[in-house]
A = this chain, B = another copy of it.
Amino acid sequence: MDEVDRSRAFLKDVKRIVLKVGTAVVTRNDGRIALGRLGALCEQLKELNSQGYEVILVSSGAVGLGRQRLRYRKLVNSSFADLQKPQVELDGKACAAVGQNCLMALYDTLFSQLDVSSAQLLVTDSDFRDRDFRKQLSDTVKSLLSLKVIPIFNENDAVSTRRAPYEDSSGIFWDNDSLAALLALELKADLLVLLSDVDGLYSGPPSDPRSKIIHTYIKEKHQSEITFGDKSRVGRGGMTAKVKAAVNAAYAGIPVVITSGYAPGNLSKVLEGQRVGTLFHQDAHFWSPVKEVDARGMALAARESSRRLQAMTSEERKRVLLDVADALEANVRLINVENEADVSAAQEAGYEKSLISRLALKPGKIKSLANSIRVLANMEDPIGRVLKRTQLAEGLVLEKTSSPLGVLLIVFESRPEALVQIASLAIRSGNGLLLKGGKEAKRSNAILHKIITGAIPDSVGGKLIGLVTSREEIPDLLKHDDVIDLVIPRGSNKLVSQVKNLTKIPVLGHADGICHVYIDKSANMDMAKRIAVDAKVDYPAACNAMETLLVHKDLKDTTEFNDLVVDLRAEGVTLYGGPRASSLLNIPQAYSFHHEYSSMSCTVEFVDDVHAAIDHIHEHGSAHTDCVIAEDLEVVDAFLGQVDSAAVFHNASPRFCDGARFGLGAEVGISTSRIHARGPVGVEGLLTTRWILRGNGQVVDGDKGVIYTHKDLPIEP
């Protein structure tokens, strides 16, 4: 999920960095040094220094530190009479002089603990008027850097003749942010980093959940959108100065990142090109598409549109699906052109053959997709069905009705037809949808999305189905558990696990498919052979393929079992054994019983009986699909009654566990969760219920308001 932002790839080539550390990073709220933070920062700089980066530090914090020191000093030297007089504010220059000393002594101590040398450079803005000074400064810094010394800059406040810092923005520099920008230019840095106490520039106050972080600042776009200096919108005073300095430096050719100095490791993330903080770059407005996905906004818009879709008549919703089908057929050539472009790009990039074959839309595929959509359009409307009708009291009738979940987020890989299937299922079930496809199918997904949304009428709004194009936005989307109702990851186990770890939104899917086939001693062994081979060989990478074959111990020396082993091997299956089987069959020991091979391999183990098989499955399985091959009905009943998995089969291959084979129509996914939906999930997994109560003025009144009847009524009134 920490994929690198491509527009930030250049950051990997950065060598010389000017790093400005703000007062809010250096000092705590009480004015004292924030030792933990500063220590961690020095440790980070030590790392960068050893890795060959040239770091130039601009550090604030001296004035505040000096003020605190002098106040204490004054107190110590005060007589009782002195203390009774009104206290005058301490002289800023004196504070700067004392504080600078403290700050440098501290940096020196900290860095020397880490075997790093640092140097102090105090400058005033008038210095920079002198060309010789600038030349000299550049030479000095260069030789310090070549000695791996970290130069630490600050304005020489104690002797500077400017009126007051932070006020006059007409000078050469007017605060440490502008000093850092100036130094980055003068010293030809590759990057300027401004460390703040917030994660970057936000569209509003960072504390407001509606504010979103701006990952890439586009002057043309954000200048008007964000009101700087307006405290209620940007929240922190210091951000205005930072943005100004950042824009100036960026347009003079130095890329800038504003990020938090509170999160250790942020600096390394920035230098790896991760999407951390706000990036300012002079070419940012050329970067296309500049995607600042407003995750929350997309989800809210999808929900709004889904409500409009839900308010339509069943006939109108059917029409939408038929229009989508027609639009797809009318644009087959366009779709194929884009799909072929994806396929060639994948071939050039040297992707695996299997991936390319999943990516390519076969001839006639669009036509068949359009036909499936028409079938979906003609099925009974799943929304607003009455599932239960009860008379609660005279004239008071309760209905439990089906209704859309709300907003779904689907993350899928490769196959572009999945987009069409999922989108049509979402329309059929009245849900809003956010889609994230694989990057290799980018152009196919974009055209399909465009055609489908183009066929949705304006009355629903164009945002029913949102297409998320960059993977980095997924963690953002997954945070909004109050506006997204269900996430369905369709892809590798890794994808499912990553999604589950990142979100509190319910996830429909399965991380593991460790399916068992248990062959009882009462089994018809011809059948057992056929099923075991199908279970493993039909599609070894599928989640419903057999990973473990459990065999009743009495079968171990039989010809029939021996034949089964021969058959599996003849098909190319590699066998690994549990402790008992590995020695008996002389095969290598399996690494773990909880292991999904997803290939032409499986584990074999002997068990004492059906109860031992059940215990084994409960202990090591993933509660996906487990099968018993047996003729003894007591064994069958025990297995079917007790195995606590989503699907439990008798004398049939686990490969039947699939929405289409189960006759559910389109499959949303297979769930090993116990909540909401379990096993293969069709449209009903995208629906929830709503309770509708119709009365004629009834009140509860301490349950004396009505006489309850609780009479079941027929579903059709």
Contact = CB atoms under 8 A, between A and B. Distances in A.
Interface of A: 28, 32-43, 46, 72, 102, 105-106, 109-110, 113-115, 264, 307, 310-311, 384, 390, 392, 396, 398, 403, 405-406, 485-486, 500, 504, 506, 524, 526-527, 530-531, 533-535, 538, 618, 638, 640-642, 644-653, 655-657, 661-663, 674-676, 678-680, 688-703, 705, 708, 710
Nearest to A69: B115
Contacts of A405: 674-675
Contact of A105 (B109, B398, B640): B109
Contact of A114 (B33, B46, B113, B384): B33
A43 B72 contact: no
A398 B645 CA distance: 15
A395 to B, nearest CB: 9
A310 to B, nearest CB: 7
28 contacts: A28-B43, A33-B113, A33-B114, A35-B114, A36-B37, A36-B41, A38-B39, A39-B39, A307-B618, A307-B644, A390-B662, A392-B662, A398-B663, A405-B675, A506-B675, A526-B697, A534-B699, A535-B699, A648-B692, A649-B692, A649-B693, A650-B693, A651-B695, A651-B697, A652-B694, A653-B699, A662-B691, A674-B688
Given A504-B504, A690-B648, A697-B530, A486 B675 contact: yes
A642 B690 contact: no
A115 B72 contact: yes
A72 B113 CA distance: 12
A534 B662 contact: no
Contact of A106 (B113, B310, B504, B676): B113
Contacts of A506: 506, 675-676
Contact of A693 (B33, B114, B652): B652
Contacts of A700: 534, 538, 653, 655-656, 661
A663 B710 contact: yes
A642 B307 contact: yes
A32 B641 contact: no
A392 B656 contact: yes
Contacts of A655: 699-700
A701 B538 CA distance: 6
Nearest to A651: B695
Given A33-B114, A524-B697, A693-B649, A674 B396 contact: no
Given A35-B113, A538-B701, A641-B311, A651 B690 contact: no
Contacts of A618: 307
A327 to B, nearest CB: 27
A703 B662 CA distance: 12
Contacts of A32: 46, 113-115
Nearest to A647: B691
Question: Interface SS of chain A: helix, strand, loop or mixed?
Answer: mixed
B34 A693 contact: no
Contacts of A652: 396, 693-699
Contacts of A384: 641
B392 A661 contact: yes
A157 B320 CA distance: 83
A573 to B, nearest CB: 15
A419 B694 CA distance: 34
A675 B676 contact: yes
Contacts of A648: 690-693
Given A506-B506, A652-B695, A661-B700, 9 more contacts: A32-B114, A102-B113, A527-B696, A646-B691, A652-B696, A652-B699, A656-B693, A661-B708, A678-B690
A40 B699 CA distance: 61
Nearest to A507: B504
Contacts of A46: 32
A702 B699 CA distance: 60
Contacts of A72: 115
A672 to B, nearest CB: 11
A618 to B, nearest CB: 7
A315 to B, nearest CB: 14
A597 to B, nearest CB: 18
Nearest to A313: B641
A241 B680 CA distance: 54
A690 B35 contact: no
B656 A396 contact: yes
A296 to B, nearest CB: 14
A673 to B, nearest CB: 8
Given A390-B663, A504-B504, A690 B646 contact: yes
Contacts of A28: 43
A366 B577 CA distance: 56
Nearest to A712: B663
